[in-house]
């Protein structure tokens, strides 16, 4: 079951602000995705490779699938033929594997670098220093990956009731985005800043997000 009222409202608000809405459909049945698809929605986010591959096989071919969960290198091959944007890249090793699979399928795969901005230890992603290393000393290795396109950054703020903390985490991600946006190379052009989920979407948009990933506000609480 989707909450159509919530969907219509948030889709309208975000469209007016030119913020892209990714409907996070992890754990939801294909039927719910179909309902949203029939309302005209095309961008969906999934966290698990197997679940994504199953749904992709059952649903219309013009859906743009976004991978937003932790991705193991040995699973890239299952999503490489069709994935629209891999938002959760957290290592150079993974970028190399995505490039290899993209070559195999004769396509370009767009990626976002996931940045660890939250306090929680368990969240994946580059930290600030690792990102700097990638953009400086590893740049020549990056440049050789001609079948990927690094289109920006993704991050998740802390799960916290402290608005100031969330705000400062988003500010940090935005400032990294602005800094690396200056770099313009064939396969590295930052245009997407993916931040904001159901609980912090308003704050994320105020702090400069242009892509948000919303699950429970549209589909209801996950079990």
Ligand X SMILES: *Cc1c(COP(=O)(O)O)cnc(C)c1O
Please state the separation of Cα 35 from the chain's center in Å: 22
Closest to ligand X by CB, 6 vs 47, is: 47
Q: How far is the CB of 56 from ligand X (least distance, A)?
A: 18
Q: Does 213 bind ligand X (CB under 6 A)?
A: yes
For residue 141, give Cα distances in angstroms to 114, 133, 146: 18, 11, 10
Closest to ligand X by CB, 152 vs 215, is: 215
3-state secondary structure of 64: strand
Q: Which residues contact 172 (CB under 8 A, 6 or more apart)?
A: 117, 128
**Which residue's Cβ has the minimum distance to ligand X?**
215
Q: Does 214 bind ligand X (CB under 6 A)?
A: yes
Closest to ligand X by CB, 134 vs 196, is: 196
- Which residue in the set 35, 47, 158, 189 belongs to the binding site for ligand X (CB under 6 A)? 47
Closest to ligand X by CB, 44 vs 190, is: 44
- Which residue in the set 68, 86, 115, 142 belongs to the binding site for ligand X (CB under 6 A)? 68
Q: Does 113 bind ligand X (CB under 6 A)?
A: no
State the number of binding residues for ligand X (CB under 6 A).
Answer: 14
Q: Does 216 bind ligand X (CB under 6 A)?
A: yes
Q: Does 197 bind ligand X (CB under 6 A)?
A: yes
CA distance 89 to 67: 9
- Which residue in the set 24, 113, 151, 205 belongs to the binding site for ligand X (CB under 6 A)? 24
- Give 126's DSSP letter: B
């Amino acid at each position: 079951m989707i909450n159509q009222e919530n969907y219509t409202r948030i889709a309208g608000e975000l469209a007016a602000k030119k913020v892209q809405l990714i409907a996070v459909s992890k754990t939801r049945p294909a039927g719910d995705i179909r309902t949203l698809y029939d309302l005209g929605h095309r961008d969906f986010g999934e966290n698990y490779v197997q679940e994504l591959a199953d749904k992709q096989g059952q649903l219309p071919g013009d859906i743009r699938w976004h991978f937003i969960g932790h991705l193991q290198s040995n699973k890239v091959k299952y999503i490489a033929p069709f994935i629209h944007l891999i938002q959760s890249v957290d290592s150079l090793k993974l970028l190399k594997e995505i490039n290899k699979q993209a070559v195999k399928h004769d396509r370009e795969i767009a990626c976002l670098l996931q940045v660890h901005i939250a306090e929680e230890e368990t969240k994946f992603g580059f930290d600030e220093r690792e990102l700097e290393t990638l953009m400086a000393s590893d740049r020549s290795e990056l440049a050789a990956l001609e079948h990927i396109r690094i289109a920006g950054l993704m991050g998740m703020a802390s799960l916290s009731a402290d608005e100031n903390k969330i705000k400062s985490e988003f500010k940090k991600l935005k400032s990294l985005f602005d800094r690396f946006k200056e770099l313009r190379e064939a396969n590295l052009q930052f245009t997407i800043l993916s931040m904001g989920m159901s609980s912090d979407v308003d704050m994320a948009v105020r702090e400069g997000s242009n892509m948000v990933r919303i699950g429970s506000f549209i589909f209801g609480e996950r079990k």
